[in-house]
Structure 1
């Protein structure tokens, strides 16, 4: 067994079988199975048919295929005999590779085996697993032997492949002659001839509509083409058969051949054999000339042109071949078509439906001539060919030849001339005009050539058109003139040319604006300069806000267009005039405010414009309707840079007042513009000391308004802190500050050097004022800063008198607690502070009296004023019960009488209730009244017969008749009856 290998295992297998060596046989069998595909027919030549057939059945699933491969006809015979009952199935069975046994026999040219199989029901039209018949397979591999055998044994010639639907003739025609020998090509041609003789339909199309003729032309199979053309003479070949794309064989001949005009070219041979040189494509309605031209196959198109007689045929869109040639820029074809009398003026038809362009929103154009098409597609060669033909025919007319109509318009109204401008082909415009195109023709948008050239930014063409006499006053449908269009698009050279030729610059733009304004707002200052150079009106009075009249300068300022405003000023416009009322007095506030351009700039903060105005002599002191100068306006609007510019002007007048009397300095203070105010003071130091019509300067006014910031600012610039109001009172700033109640303001003024004891014409100091207004903190501040607390005004009142009169408790406490003020000082009317308190009897009077008694327990309560009134009597007259009780409790004499004989007992009051309560409130015997010469009850004069008696309860001096009642006064500790007056008796009895 060690000697057994792949080369000798078959022989050892046979020997083992003969001698019965089963182990050796099994070993050899395993080697044969492992290397089955490596064995050839020679390896089994020594085996008998029966033994080999048995081996095939044991070693392979397809013994018939193995017998054919090993060329063992005897084994094939045994297979046929064994399966005779189901031979039609078994003999046509495919192996695991999808191959039939008959195909294997034909491949190896095993004629006898093939014949045997065909005689025993082998199917010559059997298909492999891919669906190909044996004839298809034979043709594909160029096997003429197998093909002829199959045809001889009745194979179907019209069977088609499952994928492409090709017949055997399709396969032969599509085989390239360049991939086989000349003999094999000849042999396959013979097969093709046999196929035709066998009844194959040569016009059968495959799944793509290709006939064998198409394929022969496509792969340049000359032998098959020759065969088919020979066959076509009998009328059995359709030379104009079309594929599913409507292509005829001629199309493929044209696209696959470089030299079409030679006699043996496929195209020439097809046409010579009767093929239509320019067939129509049913789906698109195009002719073949359209198709090849559209694919830029110029040679093919030239060939067709030379052989067809329908060059003016148009498709469903109305396009001729000349349209397509112009579209693709095939200039040679354009010339050839025109030479063959192609119509240059055919126009395209409207599409089936209106299509909107997503780019422009315009309808798709139609009625296009070939020249339109050439220009749209920027095919300059085609345009030149058309124009050359036009010029030639115009110079030398020929019968049957039409000149090119250069003024035909498409559906959008565009002529070739206007399209040239739209399509960036401006350089052909002169040629078109030279050929007779109308220079002023309008397109569908109502634009002349000049409009279009300007809109395209083509200055060269625009200048050419202007110089050629184009109407430069014509307007577009939007009412735009060429001058406006050139201005908007920034074409200064065009603007200048138009101005040179006298264009009317006064014509307003489409939005009614002056042309100069249009140039300025579009930032075309060079164009604006050109307009000014040629005399444009730089003012252009026109309607402004609410119908007023304004200049361009007003408008530029109002719209914050600084560059435009400065340009106008430099160009010599009116720089001082305010706006004017419009027709019928229209215009609203703007027409009446009398604001000059400088005022407006100061309002809007246009600093650069202000500077330009000042440089060109604008009136810096002009008044508006409110008598405000530009400086007033700048200060109000807080424009620091403008304020600085105005203050630097040598002619500025800082004393001018507006209608409210404010100077610029006052306006600065009002607006809290400290920087402006300081700048004004730097230029005019006396500005802060100016007085208004009420005699107040800025410090006075700031104090009165409580404007601490302005006050501090004025103090910081060292204004006179002791300057007096120029009126009858001659009030100082400290007086005014004391009246405001602002302690910080008062202290700031004192720190700045105010004299605390300065008096006004009423001899009042700031302490008087603070006491009168009830501002205790200010009183304290003044006292702290050494104010004269005993200073008297013109009525002899000190601060305490005034505080008591006004009922300011805290001020009284401050004066008594923080100073040594004379609390018993008498006024010119002999009134001390307590008299003032009682006379005016404010709600706080009782509390103030208690403060007095707290600080001065022995305060003289019985002091009488010039009219003899004590404080108690004055309080009782005012009906101030609380103060009366406080005074009585403090020991005031209840029986005191004034110079008019009035006491609290006879004072006319609505009721005696207060008197009764006062008498009832007595807790100790009050002081007796002395020095009275008459009875305080009845008025009887005392004498020798009329003795004086005192009421032991109230202390009054009475006659005996008025004090007849006696009663003990227990609350005084008087247990024995004592004399009392009638009033006290009633009170005591009531107790």
Structure 2
């Protein structure tokens, strides 16, 4: 069952209906089976009950149960048998053998049967009686028996009081209820008061009510059917009429007597009861309705009467019935104003209906109008209802020219709305006016407006005026010409019908011919006019508001096909305007190139075209290329027409094709000329470049002008510019022109007044596009050329900081970066000297050898220069690029020497970090420490001394250590700071060491006047009396004054303000020079030697050595004969001192 439901829903509508029907049949069959099973169960139950009785015998007691079974079986066996038969049963002429016990058990209809030998089934057919009697014995009813058999068996069971049989028949009928028998079973159940069967039938009738036809109810009694209709029909009266049961209608009238006037005129589903009766030709019922207050003039929801509705349905019999019963002919629909004839004109009328209308036409107003002012005739024309049209035209009173509210007449409707020419003929024959106005214009105009060729032919055939103007003055031919989709056949018809093309157009000073010429397809129209003889000499001479004849207008508007037609028809090609200007000159003055060519091709006289300028000059002025080319075919080549000034004029206007034509006819491409000031002689190409006319310049180049011509421009009395076009383009930034020149093979080695080539200028202007193109078209040798300032293109790139250009140049010629200037320097040396980090990095990126030396006697590397000019980032990048930190110059200097001498502390640290050897001597044996001290580079001295590899006591070729170089630094602190650093690093540093000349640091400091250094050294305990190999000492050295000497000697006994003695000495613990309170100290170091430092007498066995006990100098006995006590040394006895010390000590005693 589920599958059947599924199939029902999955299919289409028809399949679903079939499946539903099958499902119902299946359910009914199952219901019958259930009823049969129920009957079988009931029978078994009865047997069981009979067997057990009421005495409590168990079902398990099979003895009694077997008895009942046998009894039932025996009764079944003796049906219609002689065995045990004790009574006869008669039915419909047949005799059955019966048994009183069985009959008495089933029914008490015959009461006591003991005294009766026969009984009779009255009014029962044999087969019915046989089925009843069989049931009595077997308790069985054949399921295959028809419904009517079952109903007759039920009737017999009721009559003979067989209750069980009644129930069995009702159950069987319940299972058989369907659409086909539900009405029959309903009536049967109603008669026999079978409520269950009746209820089930009602449900079926209700669900299928709208599917029943009239024939299905024919056999049902009036009262029963009326009840059904009352119960299940929404509109009782309409249902009764549809069932065609007049007897039920009478019951309805009796039942609703008070409401008949309303019910009989009620519109249900757009249908009246009377209308329904008339449609089904139930005249008897219709008469009954009319007799019971049905209104024959009732109006529907659309405002139409029954008469109109029946007319639309072609129900002639209904129309006759309504008119016989007083229907109104003259009624008009309230909304539209239509009468019966309007309705008829809108309907498809049968022949019978036409006959009925014809017979009743006198009762109707044939020219009556609706609210749109349309007559029935107009309505019939609109709908092409030929039957009604013929009917109306039979009446002479019909108005065929009447117009509706929109201004449409029957003839206009026939021609333009329905486009029925045969119908239009009928209307014209009936007297229609063809010059009537339609939609504000005459019908001929409207026909043209709508391109209705049939209507135009019809109207022209009936001789309508084709030159009639509208209220605005528009002519029919003008309308045809101005149409969006011009119909040539329509124009041809108008021309043949007499349309005049010489007529003036309203509000315009041109004729129809001028107007036609101005149209897109005017040539075709003009051809039709000429073919039909509408053009003559008088027409050709007519001018429009602009003074143009037809031929002039065709040429000036480039209507050349039309012009050819006019010329062939006799128009004058050399005609002149009122001012005497010929047509060719007019065309050129109007810049009409094609028109001028047309006139020249058709024989226009060029000799009459000269006014102030000839045609050639005017054509160039107005850029008429085709005209110039055509004129060139009529003129010989001469300077008059093909000079450079005309070429330049064409080029300035951008008329390159004209220029090309001039060149082809011999014009000079170069066109050398002077400017207005006469200071510049140049070609057309130079002139175009100077004015930045790019297109002009490119044109001249492609045309083959001299692309290497030198401009002769006088800059001043001594200098002149000689730019080539390429140089001028690069200078002016005309890249496209420059590229074109390069492509065409311009010479790249040409130089300007400053000796700069194209590559120089491209780099200077930072124009990479041009530079790349130049490099791709030149040899690398050009990159080595220098300008008058000695600069190569790469030098220019560096000066302008154009890295991209430099990279491009180097890629083209890698040897550029190795070129040397007059000083032998390469590019890297220059950039390092200029401390230009970006360029240094750039050159390093080109894999330049950073260890390359300057190509002169110095042999300096880039790292030496960096150490001199001091840039940390550059130095680090050079070292990263592989610069040798140990490289030496021709003087033996390393980068560390240079950095130390120039006091570049950070650079020294960088070099030392990267493996620079601090003890490498130069050509004079000086280490980097010597150079640092000699340069007074305190910070660098500190860095070098801090390096564990440094040799503080290293000696140069003069046997001088680094401290010797501090003697010449007369600044207040540098030499002292350096001295302190040395002593910090080496407390035992040999301060009294002598060089090859016998000088010590102290003695050199004294000779150089370094007072601070002398003081500091004396504090450190150096020998004051040292003498060089040449006998020079502080006592013997000639100075302007002895102030320094006295200062050194007196320093030992200076008294402060508090009168306390102080002394200055080297503090070994704090490792610095300190000043302390004056105490007794040891005697100074004694000098050694071979002669007296004062008199220079050599010592011998007889000449003994003595020392000044105050200063320690080596003296003879004669030079130290003074004796003075020296208390600070603890010498209380007079001690030998030199003369100077004696004077000092004596002065001290005086001060004390």
TM-score, normalised via structure 1 length: 0.68
- 2:1084 is the alignment partner of 1:926: yes
Q: CA deviation at 1:334?
A: 1.7
Cα pair distance change 1:406/1:338, threshold 3 Å: farther
Which of these residues, 93, 106, 126, is aligned with residue 266 of structure 2? 93
- 2:586 is the alignment partner of 1:430: no
Which of these residues, 497, 507, 510, is aligned with residue 630 of structure 2? 497
The correspondence of residues 828-867 of structure 1 with structure 2, limited to 5 A, is 834=963, 836-842=965-971, 843-853=973-983, 854=985, 857-860=989-992
Distance 1:415 1:164 in 2: 60
Distance 2:1108 2:829 in 1: 61
Q: CA deviation at 1:572?
A: 1.9
Using CA pairs below 8 Å that are at least 6 residues apart, which structure has the higher relative contact order? 1
Cα pair distance change 1:85/1:783, threshold 3 Å: closer
Q: Secondary structure in 2 aligned to 1:275?
A: coil
Contact 2:447 2:455 survives alignment (8 Å): yes
Which of these residues, 879, 889, 914, is aligned with residue 1020 of structure 2? 889
Contact 1:278 1:287 survives alignment (8 Å): yes
Which residue number corresponds to residue 431 of structure 2? 274
Contact 2:504 2:511 survives alignment (8 Å): yes
Which residue number corresponds to residue 516 of structure 1? 651
Contact 1:704 1:736 survives alignment (8 Å): yes
Q: CA deviation at 1:807?
A: 0.7
Which residue number corresponds to residue 629 of structure 1? 757
Cα pair distance change 1:820/1:255, threshold 3 Å: same
User: Is 606-615 or 640-649 further displaced after alignment?
Assistant: 606-615
Cα pair distance change 1:420/1:288, threshold 3 Å: farther
Cα pair distance change 1:16/1:808, threshold 3 Å: closer
Which residue number corresponds to residue 941 of structure 1? none
TM-score, normalised via structure 2 length: 0.60
- Could you report, residue by residue, the CA deviation over 1:199-235 in whole angstroms, capped at 9, with x for unpaired residues? 446342366x65422332233322321332343x33x
Cα pair distance change 1:110/1:620, threshold 3 Å: same
Q: CA deviation at 1:301?
A: 1.5
Distance 1:12 1:824 in 2: 151
Contact 1:867 1:898 survives alignment (8 Å): no
Which residue number corresponds to residue 588 of structure 1? none
Q: CA deviation at 1:392?
A: 3.6
Q: Which runs of 5+ in 2 are unaligned?
A: 1-146, 152-176, 579-584, 1026-1032, 1066-1080, 1096-1104
- 2:475 is the alignment partner of 1:320: yes
Q: CA deviation at 1:676?
A: 4.0
Cα pair distance change 1:453/1:641, threshold 3 Å: closer
Contact 1:344 1:370 survives alignment (8 Å): yes
Which residue number corresponds to residue 221 of structure 1? 385
Which of these residues, 392, 403, 415, is aligned with residue 241 of structure 1? 403
User: Is 947-956 or 425-434 further displaced after alignment?
Assistant: 947-956
Q: CA deviation at 1:633?
A: 2.5
Cα pair distance change 1:29/1:765, threshold 3 Å: closer
Distance 2:1064 2:353 in 1: 158
Which residue number corresponds to residue 527 of structure 2? 384
Cα pair distance change 1:628/1:753, threshold 3 Å: farther
Cα pair distance change 1:889/1:768, threshold 3 Å: same
Contact 1:92 1:101 survives alignment (8 Å): yes
Which residue number corresponds to residue 598 of structure 2? 464
Distance 1:783 1:56 in 2: 130
Distance 1:40 1:610 in 2: 104
Cα pair distance change 1:602/1:867, threshold 3 Å: same
Distance 1:303 1:474 in 2: 57
Q: CA deviation at 1:165?
A: 6.0
Cα pair distance change 1:313/1:750, threshold 3 Å: closer
Contact 1:668 1:677 survives alignment (8 Å): no
Q: Secondary structure in 1 aligned to 2:278?
A: helix
Which of these residues, 456, 474, 484, is aligned with residue 301 of structure 1? 456
Contact 1:771 1:799 survives alignment (8 Å): yes
Q: Secondary structure in 2 aligned to 1:840?
A: coil
Q: CA deviation at 1:335?
A: 2.9
Contact 1:949 1:959 survives alignment (8 Å): no
- 2:698 is the alignment partner of 1:565: yes
Cα pair distance change 1:311/1:678, threshold 3 Å: closer
Which of these residues, 199, 202, 206, is aligned with residue 367 of structure 2? 202
Q: Secondary structure in 2 aligned to 1:921?
A: strand
- Could you report, residue by residue, the CA deviation over 1:388-440 in whole angstroms, capped at 9, with x for unpaired residues? 45x54416x7xxxx7896856799x999637965xxx7644533565659899
Cα pair distance change 1:317/1:38, threshold 3 Å: same
- Could you report, residue by residue, the CA deviation over 1:16-46 in whole angstroms, capped at 9, with x for unpaired residues? 99xx744499699959876687565897599
Cα pair distance change 1:429/1:188, threshold 3 Å: farther
Contact 2:742 2:774 survives alignment (8 Å): no
Contact 2:707 2:725 survives alignment (8 Å): no
Cα pair distance change 1:57/1:848, threshold 3 Å: closer
Contact 2:597 2:627 survives alignment (8 Å): yes
Contact 1:635 1:664 survives alignment (8 Å): yes
Q: CA deviation at 1:151?
A: 3.6
Which residue number corresponds to residue 791 of structure 2? 662
Which residue number corresponds to residue 935 of structure 2? 806
Cα pair distance change 1:559/1:416, threshold 3 Å: same
- Could you report, residue by residue, the CA deviation over 1:63-113 in whole angstroms, capped at 9, with x for unpaired residues? 55455556566765665566555443233233x444222213333444455
CA RMSD of aligned residues (A): 6.4
Distance 2:1151 2:634 in 1: 124
User: Is 974-983 or 671-680 further displaced after alignment?
Assistant: 974-983
The correspondence of residues 780-791 of structure 1 with structure 2, limited to 5 A, is 789-791=922-924
Distance 1:99 1:132 in 2: 12
Distance 1:61 1:731 in 2: 129
Which residue number corresponds to residue 150 of structure 1? 322
Which residue number corresponds to residue 943 of structure 1? none
The correspondence of residues 742-757 of structure 1 with structure 2, limited to 5 A, is 756=888
Which residue number corresponds to residue 39 of structure 2? none
Contact 2:1106 2:1114 survives alignment (8 Å): no
Distance 2:489 2:798 in 1: 89
Distance 1:789 1:56 in 2: 142
Q: CA deviation at 1:801?
A: 6.1
The correspondence of residues 371-770 of structure 1 with structure 2, limited to 5 A, is 372=515, 376=519, 378=521, 381-389=524-532, 392-394=534-536, 417=554, 421=558, 427-431=561-565, 436=571, 463-468=597-602, 469=604, 496-497=629-630, 499-500=632-633, 514-516=649-651, 529-536=660-667, 538=669, 551-552=684-685, 555=688, 565=698, 568=701, 571-573=704-706, 575-578=708-711, 595-600=723-728, 618=747, 620-624=749-753, 626-634=754-762, 636=764, 637=766, 639-643=771-775, 645-647=777-779, 656-658=786-788, 660-663=789-792, 666-667=795-796, 673=806, 676=809, 688=819, 691=822, 701=830, 704-705=833-834, 708=840, 721=853, 723-724=855-856, 739-740=868-869, 756=888, 758=890
- 2:902 is the alignment partner of 1:773: yes
Q: Secondary structure in 1 aligned to 2:536?
A: helix
Distance 1:563 1:71 in 2: 105
Q: CA deviation at 1:799?
A: 7.5
Q: Which runs of 5+ in 1 are unaligned?
A: 178-183, 351-364, 586-590, 935-946
Distance 2:254 2:453 in 1: 69
Q: CA deviation at 1:337?
A: 2.5
Distance 2:785 2:205 in 1: 132
Distance 1:580 1:271 in 2: 95
Distance 2:666 2:875 in 1: 68
Q: Secondary structure in 1 aligned to 2:456?
A: helix
> How many pairs align?
877
Which residue number corresponds to residue 899 of structure 1? 1037
